[in-house]
Structure 1
Amino acid sequence: MNGVVCVLAVLVSLSSGLWVLRARGAQPRREVEQGGLRLRLDQATWLHEPMDHGDAVRLPTGQGAPGVGQRHLAVALTLFNVAQAPADFTAQELVLTAENGQEWFPVEQEEARLSVRPAQLLPLPLGFNIPASAGWLRLEWVRGTERAVLLSTRPPPGGTSQVEGQERWPQSAEGLPPGSPRAGAVLFHERFACVACHGSPEFQGEVHAAPSLHGFAKAGAARVAGMSAAQYAYESLLFPGAFIAPGCAGNVPCQEPSLMPVYGDALSAQEMADLISYLLGQRERP
């Protein structure tokens, strides 16, 4: 009898251990390694349809922007090859899965495979358009037979943009606190290194890859009819893909979808105000 009890105890222990392993496997992990690649989730931001300003002014719906009744989950990931040989990756390996099994893939429909060299590190900005009623979702990385959960989240019910774990952003830039141009300059040139792509807004012709921000107070106010430069900057920082600037470095068309990171989850309201204040305060110089 004692032997039977021992066997039953062992079986219960094993089944409990398997349950714990399954539970751990279902828990979100911000950094996962699968098939020779390491994927880290750096940021996740929920954004609603492009901010509505009434019939007179509406931010144009760009490629990849969510439609009415949808929410947009913008994620920033880092991909790193830890293997000794090149490894392939596609954006379609990332999927948002609902509790009922429904799945959504990134709006960046890139079928071509990325070949990641050994020790190569690549930033990977992706976005998902999800019905507002979707409920709880899991962001999963499916690679071959391996599957890992990176994030558990749900679309915000409505209104303004929402960062995971933070309060929603105000609808208008006017709802931000007063900004400091000096603090904004530090953010632009140092902390976020915006200067690396946009060049210095203080001087003309320094743009490197992204649209020039020289004379932004005037140029930003002319991008969307009826929208102030402050509001244009605000919405561009929250949802870079909603409106694509007409020209980038060398007056070539800017890439779609936008490669600009989503700063809604990286900036506080005060920092957002500081950055916008710095951009608006630059005088045009030759």
Structure 2
Amino acid sequence: MKLRRSRGRDPLGLRRVLSDRLLPALVAAMALLAALTLAGARGAADLAARWEGGAATALTVQLPHGARTDRPLAALAALPEIAEARLADPARLAALLRPWLGEAPALPLPVVIELRLARLPADATALGARIAAAVPGATVEAHGVWVARLLALARSLEAVALAALLLVAGIATAVVAVAVRAGISARREAIAILHALGATDGDIAGRFAQRVALLVGLGALAGTLVAAPVLAGFAGLAAPLLGGAAAGVADPSGAYQFWAGLPWGSLPWAELALLPPAAALIGWLTAQVTLRRWLRRLP
């Protein structure tokens, strides 16, 4: 016997036992957490990539004022770890130091050579020692030690975010399983009667799975839509760390300009778009497995 699948019929009474409020609300909250977690993982990955590709490979070498630079530049360029060695612009250095030293510094500024490394060194201290040996009298400012620690922190945050995402998915699965079991308990007699009349396990489980997938998908969509402006606001605050401009704070009359100025394009739209269908798939699979296991116990 096949259950009729017309839109107007609900032989199992699933619209009453599977609430269209509680389950979507719970899933929406978990989808919001999942969206925040995804954005956190993406942000940590972007920060790690920026540090590793930028500040992580930058060193500076300071020489006394008036020192010759042709031999130090040649010696530094000959090192295999160094991709580029160039003199820092004195005007730019003066502009950077102007807030502390004023327009006319009383002390002569040293000669600064900027180095760009080919890759992040495994031991920044050892590399600094080799640079100091190649250029006697030079002072090496190696940022690699601190950047390596920041990279480790960013990678750890990324791993924690992914673990939290798996935890949210596990909790969502448990919530759906509990909701399905509650629906089974409420419609136990109807399910047993339809099963005894010849309804297949696949048809009964499919009814439950379709209803659950719809509710879970709608809840995840609502949570994702709520998360989008929150993530855009966070992205605006974090933009300076990623090389962008921070979103300005607008007065009440300029609220539209504030929201329009947020970095919407920096959001992980692909991952966010996958949240509702992924949640619906989790709900469908959980309902199928839960109900089929219960149906196997029927005579």
Tell me if TM exceeds 0.5.
no
Comparing both structures, which one devotes a greater share of its residues to helix?
2
Name which structure has the greater RCO, CA cutoff 8 Å, separation 6+.
2
Larger Rg: 2
When normalised by structure 1's length, the TM-score is 0.22
